[in-house]
Amino acid sequence: MSYCLGSRVDPRYRAFLPGKIVEAIVIANDRLQPARATWGRVDAAEFTACRRWSFLQGNELVDPFGKKTVRANMHPGYGNKNASAQPARPIRG
């Protein structure tokens, strides 16, 4: 392939890259160590918000099949008159 993603192949880079990939793999392999995992849980309801907003009846959006079936949307836009003033559903704690 001599042309890809809007630019021509650089033969110097093409020759240089495989060796650098091998070098990166060898370094990564030499640095392998056991993984550590942790987790936690906190009640942070004040930082949670429903981002799904309902559209008013008659203002549904068109789905990928051309039918007006989309009754809710993420971030319909500030002050969108076609969306309700309330989120689609309350946040569960």
Establish if 50 belongs to a structural domain: yes
Residue 90's pLDDT band (cuts 50, 70, 90): low
Residue 91's pLDDT band (cuts 50, 70, 90): low
Establish if 20 belongs to a structural domain: no
The set of residues, in sequence order, having a beta carbon less than 8 Å from that of 75 and lying 6+ positions away, is 51, 53
Total domains, the chain: 1
For 63, the domain range is 45-87
At 45 the three-state DSSP class reads helix
Establish if 33 belongs to a structural domain: no
Establish if 9 belongs to a structural domain: no
| Total-model pTM | 0.39
Establish if 31 belongs to a structural domain: no
Establish if 7 belongs to a structural domain: no
Reported as a single tens digit per residue, the pLDDT across 16-73 is 999 999 999 999 999 999 999 999 998 887 777 777 888 888 888 888 999 999 888 8
Establish if 5 belongs to a structural domain: no
Nearest C-alpha neighbor of 89 from the set 55, 50, 62 = 50
